[in-house]
Structure 1
Amino acid sequence: MTVPLGGVPLADHAAVYAALDRAGFTDVWSSEVAGTDAFTPLALAAAWAPRLRLGTAITPAFTRGPGLLAMSAAALAEAAPGRFALGIGASSPVVVRDWNAVAYDEPFKRTRDVLRFLRAALRGETVDGAFDTFAVRRFALERPPAVPPPVLLAALRPGMLRLAAAEADGVILNWLAAEDVPTAVAELGERRPGFEVAARIFVCPTEDTAYARALGRRLITGYLTVPAYAAFHRWLGRQETLGPMWRAWEAGDRRGAAAAVPDEVVDALVLHGSPERCVAGARRYAAHGVDVPVLAVLPTPETTEGGADAWAGLLPRLGIDVTEVA
């Protein structure tokens, strides 16, 4: 499950984590855009739910210096030995450049260099030298984790997917349909033992189809017009179906861009309907090759209006007992 849950304060997440654990969920994964940072919700989970596995999906490779990113990962790995996975990725120009005032240059090389730095630093090695995109002088963690965390790489197209297969411990997929998974996984080639394929799966568990599709269109136009995601979906074969959206967006017609997204694309990328139907849709990702399906529950009219009581009624239908959340 993606955490934190929308509308539930972080201070109240002890009950959420306990409920996830009781229900048999194995993992909680954070994200980092403009809400919480990636590490704080997981640090709370490390203390409050000592059996859950923790993961970041993802921490940007640009917005922290290499040493600070290694320190944050090492601290969480020390707090939750053997049950933390660090997911990193290039993020986007909006997050990196527009919101964090960092140049978004050579994202492939920067992500590769951060991956290589982290793998060495988290093993307790002293890193001293120049990478293509930065240089580090004699950095060594004072508290290297006894169990170095696996490092997963967010990847979309062949180059980054192949980098993940060659140098990371797993790959994180995002914004793709279940039927797209084999296309991405094929680029990984033969995987090493323990290599994981994780995917964030957006679910909007409401039977208000008009609401779910309107929200899905807003999200799709916000994400899939980012150059990397646009190129990803062209590679997946959606040039014709998403071409009108891209052309409207480029012309400055934001409303027209959203209206141009076909229903079938929304339905493939944002699972909606009853909670049971959403869960069945998520299982298709596993059937197509995802090892770690990570649900990201979007706001619904029910949760927006009903607050904690609505969450308490909804989440058990996703397989979660949250009687304590309310």
Structure 2
Amino acid sequence: MTVPLGGIALADHAAVYAALDRAGFTDVWSSEVAGTDAFTPLALAAAWQPRLRLGTAIVPSFTRGPGLLAMSAAALAEAAPGRFALGIGASSPVLVRDWNAVRFDEPFKRTRDTLRFLRAALRGETVDEVYDTFTVRRFTLERPPAVPPPVLLAALRPGMLRLAAAEADGVILNWLSADDLPTALAELGQRRPGFEVAARIFVCPTEDTAHARALGRRLITGYLTVPAYAAFHRWLGRQEQLGPMWQAWAAGDRRGASAAVPDEVVDALVLHGSPERCAAQVRRYADAGVDVPVLALLPTPELTSGGAAALAALIPRLGPGGGEGR
């Protein structure tokens, strides 16, 4: 499950983590956009639920210096030895440049260089290296983790997918349907032992189809007009389906862009229906080769009106354990 969950204060997430554990969820993964940072929700989970595995999906490679990123990862790996995976990625110009005042130059190289630095630093090595996009002089972690965390790479198109396959411990996929997986996974080639495939999957567990599709259109219009995601979906073959949305967006017609998203695209990328139907659709990702399906729970009318009680009832219905625990 992606954490933290919307509408619930971080201080109240102890009950959320306990419910996820009881329902059979094995992992909690954080994101980092404009809400919480990626590490704080996982640090709380490390203390409150020692069985849950923790992951970041993702930490941008631009918004922290290499040394600080290594320190944050090492601290969480020390707090949860053997239970933490660090996911990094390029992120986007809006988050990096517009919100964090950092130049968004050469994202592929910056992410590659960060990956190479982290692999060495988290092993406790002294890093004294001139990379293509930054230079590090004699950095050594004072507290290298006894169990270095695996480093996963967020990837969309062939170049980054192949980099992940060659140098990372796994890959994180996002904004693709179960039917898109063969195209993406083919770029990874023969996976090395222990290489993990994680995928964030947007889930709106409601039978109010109009609500789910309206929310899905807003999300798709917001995300898939970002140049990297637009190129990704062109590569996946959605030029004809999403071309009208891109044209309207480029013309400044935000409402028209949202209206141009076809229902079939929404239904493929944002899972909706009863919780049991959503869980069955998530299993399609696992059957197609995803090792860690990470649900991103979207707001529903039921959750909005029912509050904490509705969430407590929902989690077991979405979970792999069916509420029976592990």
TM more than 0.5: yes
Task: Give SS of 1:201's match.
Answer: strand
User: Normalising to structure 1: TM-score of the pair?
Assistant: 0.97
**What percentage of aligned pairs have identical amino acids?**
88
Q: Take 1:216 and 1:318, find their aligned partners in 2: how far apart are those partners?
A: 19
**Residue aligned with 2:116, SS:** helix
Query: Is the CA contact 2:127–2:136 (under 8 Å) kept in the aligned structure 1?
Result: yes
- Choose 202-211 or 14-23, whichever is displaced more: 14-23
- What do residues 77-117 of structure 1 show as CA deviations (whole Å, max 9, x unaligned)? 00000010000000001110111111000000000000000
How far apart in 2 are the matches of 1:20 and 1:321?
Answer: 10
Q: 1:305: Cα distance to partner?
A: 2.2
More deviation in 10-19 or 192-201?
10-19
In the TM superposition, residue 306 of structure 1 has moved relative to its aligned partner by 2.1
Q: For residue 317 of structure 1, report the CA deviation from its aligned partner.
A: 1.6
1:295 corresponds to which residue? 295
* 1:194 matched residue in structure 2: 194
Aligned to 1:127: 127
Specify the code of the residue in structure 1 equivalent to 2:245. Answer: M
1-structure distance, mates of 2:304, 2:251? 33
Contact 1:123/1:144, CA 8 A, preserved across alignment: yes
Cross-structure match for 1:213: 213
Which residue of 1 is the match for residue 64 of structure 2? 64
Once residues 197 and 17 of structure 2 are traced to their aligned partners in structure 1, the CA distance between those partners, rounded to angstroms, is: 23
Aligned partner letter, 1:311: L
Q: CA deviation at 1:275?
A: 0.6
1:166-214 Cα deviation digits (max 9, x unpaired): 0000000000000001110000001110000000000000111111000
Task: Report deviation, 1:313.
Answer: 2.3
CA distance in 1, matches of 2:30, 2:286: 20
Residue of structure 1 equivalent to 2:224: 224
Root-mean-square deviation over aligned CA pairs: 1.3
Distance 1:204 1:19 in 2: 19
Partner AA of 1:178 in structure 2: A
Secondary structure of the structure 2 residue equivalent to 1:256: helix
Structure 2 spans left out of the alignment, 5+ residues = none
Equivalent residue, structure 1, for 2:236: 236
- Please give the TM-score of this superposition, normalised by the length of structure 2: 0.97
**What CA deviation, in whole Å up to 9, does each residue of 1:270-311 have, x standing for no partner?**
000111111111011111110100011001111122221221
Partner of 1:41: 41
Displacement of 1:316 in angstroms is: 2.3
Following TM superposition, by how much is the alpha carbon of 1:7 offset from its aligned partner in structure 2, in angstroms?
A: 1.1
* Gaps in structure 1 of 5+ consecutive residues: none
Distance in 1 (CA, whole Å) between partners of 2:319 and 2:282 is: 12
- CA 304–283 in structure 1, closer or farther in 2 if over 3 Å, else same: same
3-state SS of 1:94 partner: helix
Q: Which amino acid aligns with 2:128?
A: D
Q: Distance in 1 between matches of 2:233 and 2:170?
A: 21
Structure 2 CA distance, aligned partners of 1:18 and 1:320?
15
1:320–1:199 distance in 2 versus 1, CA, 3 Å: closer
* Contact kept? 1:87, 1:172, Cα under 8 Å: yes
- Measured against aligned partners, the alpha-carbon deviations of 1:224-267 in whole angstroms (never above 9, x if no partner) come to 00000000000000000000000000000000000000000000
Whether contact under 8 Å (1:20, 1:320) holds in the other structure is no
Task: Output the amino acid matched with 2:107.
Answer: P
- Asked if structure 2 preserves the Cα contact closer than 8 Å seen for 1:19 and 1:322, the reply is no
